[in-house]
């Protein structure tokens, strides 16, 4: 059986495209009561971008903090805040920020139309009702969250996405100018998330021409961005992120992402840096990818934190291993149907011990 998957129907791309946001969403403002919720990374508080947000009438500016990656409890609290703000639902939600903010905006727009807690919907196709119209404006490039069908959340029991066709954005606005001011380390870690998506997709056993077409182009763009000098590197990285996301949509990520989930769940390490930390120990699985990744690190003078698991007790280590090995499709993609014989608990533990 082939998957029949949805893609984002509306895309606007280009430098300065943010100026058109008002125009792009105004068809939803059907009455004077209509209002939008702008979910904005609080890194932009008081910054020029914030003053460019096209707020109208009753619109709500909802600043969100992403020091911790999004939790289900946070989503539930934000939804409650919107419900308290006005008895009617907003006509749209616009997420402005990196992968975390984009995922928050996705989850909020879903939960405005679905009962219960966001934790109830962590999994695949559990969402019952379509989301409120939602729009993404990325300010970081690499995660592919702008085009993926998941909103990754840390819940009481697991870190797992709300995966559904309803999760997908209705509209994305890709303005490369918005990623110009990102600090170098963050730019690199989030960009490497994309590079690793490409390597894991292209080298996986689930690979097919659809995923390869996107993955190869994305990888090519990542090389231009991280190993060459181009004045339009921000444009390139935004498209690399989009293509990388499209590539994994029809395949899967692999060992690096599985291991990074363990680091994230137990140590709270963020996705991009967590992927970089794990990837650096995966020479055996991705020899060429890891060698090229190290060239990219050297070129941008990036040094990764080490000895992260030193001093962790056995229970925490075991939890990390269990989290990583629980991501069965990722291992199947990476190592094939006999993955469990290859990536044993001992080998996984050994990898974590070295990190
Ligand atoms: P992020 O959104 O977590 O942001 C990282 C930091 O950069 C934050 O401190 C943020 O405030 C700051 N920031 C954002 N934009 C900035 C800008 N323009 N200038 C300066 N600072 C800025 O980082 P990310 O790497 O984009 O996203 C990681 C998140 O994405 C994780 O929560 C991960 O789970 C999620 N993710 C989702 C998907 C998906 O398909 N839904 C895929 C991969 C990762
Ligand atoms: Zn990723």
Of 145, 179, 213, which marks where a domain is finished? 179
The kind and range of the H/E element at 136 are: strand 134-138
Ligand 1 mutation pick, 66, 161, 261, max ligand atoms within 8 A of CB: 66
The bound ligand whose nearest atom lies closest to the alpha carbon of 271 is 1
Orientation angle between helical segments 255-267 and 184-202, nearest 10 degrees: 140
Looking at residue 159, what is its pLDDT?
86
Q: Name the average pLDDT for the chain.
A: 97
Percent of the residues in the chain that have a pLDDT greater than 90, as a whole number: 97
Instruction: Answer yes or no: do 133 and 260 share one domain.
Output: no
Phi then psi dihedrals of residue 268, to 5 deg: 70, 20
Ligand 1 nearest atom to the CA of residue 49, by list position: 18
Instruction: Answer yes or no: do 191 and 326 share one domain.
Output: yes
What is the mean predicted confidence (pLDDT) over 215-239?
98
Q: Is the pLDDT of residue 290 over 90?
A: yes
Ligand 1 nearest atom to the CA of residue 69, by list position: 32
The bound ligand whose nearest atom lies closest to the alpha carbon of 191 is 1
Residues with CB under 6 A from ligand 1: 41, 43, 66, 69-70, 97-101, 103, 139-140, 143-145, 148, 150-152, 178-179, 181-182, 186, 190, 193, 270-272
Number of domains in the chain: 2
Q: In the structure encoding, which two tokens stand for residue 50, read together?
A: 């914030």
Q: Is the dihedral of CA 110, 16, 145, 102 positive or negative?
A: negative
Instruction: Answer yes or no: do 240 and 330 share one domain.
Output: yes
> Could you tell me the distance, in angstroms and rounded to a whole number, from the CA of residue 287 to the centre of ligand 1?
27
Give CA–CA dist 196/142, Å, rounded: 10
Ligand 2 (ion): which residues have CB within 5 A? 193
Instruction: Answer yes or no: do 221 and 155 share one domain.
Output: no
Which candidate, 321, 313, 186, 193, places its Cα nearest to that of 261? 321
Instruction: Answer yes or no: do 166 and 226 share one domain.
Output: no
pLDDT confidence of 30, banded at 50, 70, 90? very high
Residue 5 inside a domain? The answer is no
Ligand 1 nearest atom to the CA of residue 65, by list position: 11
Q: Is the pLDDT of residue 17 over 90?
A: yes
Name the residue at shortest CA distance from atom 18 of ligand 1.
139
Residue 101 inside a domain? The answer is yes
- Domain that includes residue 31, residue range: 10-179
Instruction: Answer yes or no: do 120 and 220 share one domain.
Output: no
Q: Where are the beta strands (DSSP E) in 239-305?
A: none
What is the mean predicted confidence (pLDDT) over 331-350?
98
Looking at residue 80, what is its pLDDT?
98
Ligand 1 mutation pick, 44, 110, 143, 250, max ligand atoms within 8 A of CB: 143
Looking at residue 158, what is its pLDDT?
83
Residue 77 inside a domain? The answer is yes
Instruction: Answer yes or no: do 221 and 297 share one domain.
Output: yes
Residue 283 inside a domain? The answer is yes
Residue 296 inside a domain? The answer is yes
Looking at residue 90, what is its pLDDT?
98
Instruction: Answer yes or no: do 91 and 231 share one domain.
Output: no
Q: In the structure encoding, which two tokens stand for residue 339, read together?
A: 């993955």
pLDDT one-digit tens code per residue, 244-266: 999 999 999 999 999 999 999 99
Instruction: Answer yes or no: do 175 and 188 share one domain.
Output: no
Looking at residue 3, what is its pLDDT?
87
Ligand 1 nearest atom to the CA of residue 41, by list position: 11
CA angle 192, 197, 198 (to 5 degrees): 100
The structure's pTM equals 0.97
Instruction: Answer yes or no: do 194 and 334 share one domain.
Output: yes
Ligand 1 mutation pick, 99, 158, 160, 258, max ligand atoms within 8 A of CB: 99
Instruction: Answer yes or no: do 56 and 162 share one domain.
Output: yes
What is the mean predicted confidence (pLDDT) over 224-244?
98
Contact 120, 126 (CB under 8 A): yes
Give CA–CA dist 290/272, Å, rounded: 15
Of 179, 203, 219, which marks where a domain is finished? 179
Q: Is the pLDDT of residue 330 over 90?
A: yes
> Could you tell me the distance, in angstroms and rounded to a whole number, from the CA of residue 336 to the centre of ligand 1?
30
How far the first Cα of the chain sits from its last, in Å, is 39
Q: Look up the CATH number of the domain holding residue 63.
A: 3.40.50.1970
pLDDT one-digit tens code per residue, 95-116: 999 999 999 999 999 999 999 9
pLDDT one-digit tens code per residue, 134-163: 999 999 999 999 999 999 999 998 888 999
Residue 196 inside a domain? The answer is yes
Looking at residue 157, what is its pLDDT?
85
Residue 4 inside a domain? The answer is no
Residue 280 inside a domain? The answer is yes
Q: Look up the CATH number of the domain holding residue 220.
A: 1.20.1090.10
Name the residue at shortest CA distance from atom 19 of ligand 1.
182
Of 123, 156, 179, which marks where a domain is finished? 179
Instruction: Answer yes or no: do 209 and 248 share one domain.
Output: yes
Ligand 1 nearest atom to the CA of residue 181, by list position: 19
């Amino acid at each position: 059986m082939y998957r029949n998957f949805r893609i984002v129907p509306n895309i606007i791309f280009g430098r300065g495209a943010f100026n058109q946001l008002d125009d792009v969403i105004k068809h939803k403002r059907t009455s004077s009561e209509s209002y939008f919720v702008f979910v904005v990374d609080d890194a932009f508080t008081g910054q020029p971008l914030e003053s460019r947000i096209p707020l109208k009438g009753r619109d709500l500016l909802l600043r969100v903090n992403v020091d911790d990656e999004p939790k289900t409890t946070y989503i539930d609290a934000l939804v409650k805040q919107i419900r308290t703000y006005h008895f009617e639902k907003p006509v749209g939600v616009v997420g402005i920020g990196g992968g975390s903010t984009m995922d928050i905006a996705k989850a909020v727009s879903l939960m405005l139309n679905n009962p219960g807690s966001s934790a109830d919907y962590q999994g695949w196709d559990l969402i019952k009702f379509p989301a409120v119209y939602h729009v993404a404006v990325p300010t970081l490039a690499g995660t592919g969250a702008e085009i993926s069908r998941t909103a990754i959340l840390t819940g009481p029991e697991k870190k797992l996405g709300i995966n559904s066709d309803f999760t997908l954005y209705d509209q994305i606005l890709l303005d490369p100018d918005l990623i110009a001011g990102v600090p170098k380390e963050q730019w690199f870690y989030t960009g490497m998330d994309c590079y690793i998506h490409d390597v894991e997709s292209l080298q996986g056993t689930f690979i097919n021409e659809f995923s390869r077409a996107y993955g190869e182009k994305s990888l090519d763009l990542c090389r231009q961005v991280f190993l060459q000098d181009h004045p339009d590197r921000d444009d390139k990285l935004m498209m690399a992120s989009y293509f990388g996301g499209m590539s994994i949509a029809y395949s899967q990520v692999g060992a690096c992402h599985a291991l990074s989930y363990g680091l994230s769940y137990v140590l709270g390490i963020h996705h991009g840096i967590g992927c970089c930390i794990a990837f650096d120990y995966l020479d055996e699985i991705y020899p060429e990818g890891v060698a090229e990744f190290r060239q990219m690190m050297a070129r941008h003078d990036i040094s990764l934190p080490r000895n992260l698991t030193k001093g962790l007790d056995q229970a925490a280590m075991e939890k990390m291993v269990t989290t990583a090995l629980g991501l069965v499709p990722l291992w199947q993609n990476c190592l094939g149907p006999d993955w469990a014989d290859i990536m044993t608990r001992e080998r996984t533990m050994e990898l974590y011990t070295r990190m």
